[in-house]
Structure 1
Amino acid sequence: MPRVGRVLLPNYPHHIVQRGHNRQVVFAEDCDFQRYVDDLRELKDAFGVKVYAYCLMTNHVHLLLAPGDSLTGLSQLMKTLAARATRYRNRLEGRSGTLWEGRYKSSIVQSDSYLLACSRYIELNPVRARMVSDAGDYPWSSYARRVGEVPSQNWLDIDPCFEALGATDEERRRRYVEFIRQVVPAEELSLIREAIQRGQLTGSNRFADEVERIAGVRIERRTQGRPKLE
């Protein structure tokens, strides 16, 4: 089956996942994680891309990114992040070759309904993996920066849905903490997971209509398995 072409849109948030080649370890030491975060912080401004959320796991990364008017910045950001990490790992291990899967996965996210849900999904990755019991205990995600636990290092961009949580920074942080501690509906988990795995939209049917008007292509939500014969 031919792979589905990637659809990217300017000024829309995109949930992006990039995995290590054959799921190999990408980040082995704290310095590996820190180097990637430092590169992300530097390159987002260089390429004009907003970073709403991130989580670095041992063998993959989750990013919630919003390009500006040009999509070139998003593609260049991902290409440069991957190249820097590859050169660093190859130099460290005295090897050559690829570090990442050749093609990152992406899903355009519906801002008004799913943006906060996608941020929560990303920042709860270490909790679902049972690496930590609380999102705030994991140092390599955006959660601590989002809720102000490291305010002096907060370079995250504020997405419109987070900003709408309250009139003050304190109120927004408090309400987001409450939000992330809620039980996540199984349907929400399934939608976000399937969307990123299959290159579908993280959003409603109405959002599919909106994207079709802009991109000229219909991105339908597909279910698992073969279609039933009638």
Structure 2
Amino acid sequence: MARLARLYAPNTPQLVQAYFVEALAGPNEATPVEPLDMLSGWLQHCAQEHHVAIHGWALLTDRLVFLATPAQRPGIARLMQAIGRRYATRLKTGRVFEGRYRSALVEPGKWVLPVLVWLDTQPVQHGHVDHAENWPWSSAAYHTGLNLKPNTWATDHADYWELGNTPFERQATFRDLLNESLSANRRQQIEKALFGQWALGDEAFLHNLAPIVSRRITPAKRGRPRKKANLAS
């Protein structure tokens, strides 16, 4: 089966996920602080270099996940290539990522905040910590105001700004969203779109997106195409 072309639409955020060929640490091993710190720095540097606005991120021992809006079509691909080169020279040799990275377009106004919650709770979902803010290599502490280090490189999405008129209001509201977490159905919708590399949004969003994207944005219907009726008399 031919590989799907990269899905892209102007000014539309993308959820991106890439697995490492080799995990940074096993399930019962100590947290690999130095490699995770390196990856965090590379994500920051490469995002700025390739003009990709990062809205949320989670670096786990086996994968890299983030939500971002690229200024240009090749921005995310170049970002991933740049991280891969640094990873290969500093942390390992040979292939870095397990296959191609996967991505899904995300509807602003409806799905950006759920995706950010999904992202920031990944360390909890995978058993790294009990509370999302306790994982230093995600945007959870940044979004909830618990990160004491100033962050000048992340770009808040407009949907995050709608959470309140002040940083304290936005942080408190997002903290409530994290505590509420997501329903199993919403998690499944996000993960299904990401795994299939489709667009995540309602019918109106998909309809408006279809003419401007780089390829088909939803799965094709199963089965053979219906035959056209024979109109010959």
Q: Same fold (TM over 0.5)?
A: yes
TM range (shorter): 0.7 to 0.9
Structure 2 length normalisation: TM-score? 0.86
Q: 2:135 aligns with which of 134, 138, 142?
A: 138
Structure 1 length normalisation: TM-score? 0.88
Q: 2:114 aligns with which of 109, 113, 117?
A: 117
Report if the CA contact (8 A) 2:13-2:70 is conserved: yes
Deviates more, 1:190-199 or 1:179-188: 179-188
Report if the CA contact (8 A) 1:26-1:99 is conserved: no
Count of residues paired in the alignment: 218
> 1:40-99 CA deviation, whole Å, 9 max, x = no partner?
11222221110101001111111111111x222222111101111121112xxxxx3112
Structure 2 residue 1 is the aligned partner of structure 1 residue 4: no
- How far is the alpha carbon of 1:29 from its aligned partner? 1.9
Structure with the greater relative contact order (CA < 8 A, sep ≥ 6): 1 or 2?
Answer: 2
Segments of 5+ residues of structure 2 without an aligned counterpart are 26-30, 224-233
Segments of 5+ residues of structure 1 without an aligned counterpart are 91-95
2:183 match: 185
1:53 match: 56
Report if the CA contact (8 A) 2:6-2:214 is conserved: no
CA distance in 2, matches of 1:51, 1:151: 19
Q: 1:203 aligns with which of 180, 201, 204?
A: 201
Residues 197, 222 of structure 1: alpha-carbon distance in 2 compared, 3 angstrom cutoff: farther
% same residue:
23
Q: Give the aligned CA root-mean-square deviation in angstroms.
A: 2.0
Residues 119, 44 of structure 1: alpha-carbon distance in 2 compared, 3 angstrom cutoff: same
1:13 match: 13
CA distance in 1, matches of 2:214, 2:122: 33
Residues 110, 153 of structure 1: alpha-carbon distance in 2 compared, 3 angstrom cutoff: same
Residues 183, 59 of structure 1: alpha-carbon distance in 2 compared, 3 angstrom cutoff: closer
Q: 1:88 aligns with which of 82, 86, 90?
A: 90
CA distance in 2, matches of 1:199, 1:134: 29
Report if the CA contact (8 A) 2:56-2:119 is conserved: yes
Residues 216, 137 of structure 1: alpha-carbon distance in 2 compared, 3 angstrom cutoff: closer
CA distance in 2, matches of 1:102, 1:123: 24
Deviates more, 1:117-126 or 1:178-187: 178-187
Residues 20, 200 of structure 1: alpha-carbon distance in 2 compared, 3 angstrom cutoff: same
Deviates more, 1:199-208 or 1:165-174: 199-208
Runs of 4+ in 1 over 4 A off after TM superposition: none
- How far is the alpha carbon of 1:5 from its aligned partner? 2.2
Structure 2 residue 71 is the aligned partner of structure 1 residue 74: no
Report if the CA contact (8 A) 2:15-2:104 is conserved: yes
CA distance in 2, matches of 1:153, 1:166: 20
CA distance in 2, matches of 1:100, 1:153: 30
CA distance in 1, matches of 2:177, 2:105: 22
What secondary structure sits across from 1:66 in the alignment? strand
Report if the CA contact (8 A) 2:24-2:32 is conserved: no
Report if the CA contact (8 A) 1:211-1:218 is conserved: no
Residues 37, 216 of structure 1: alpha-carbon distance in 2 compared, 3 angstrom cutoff: closer
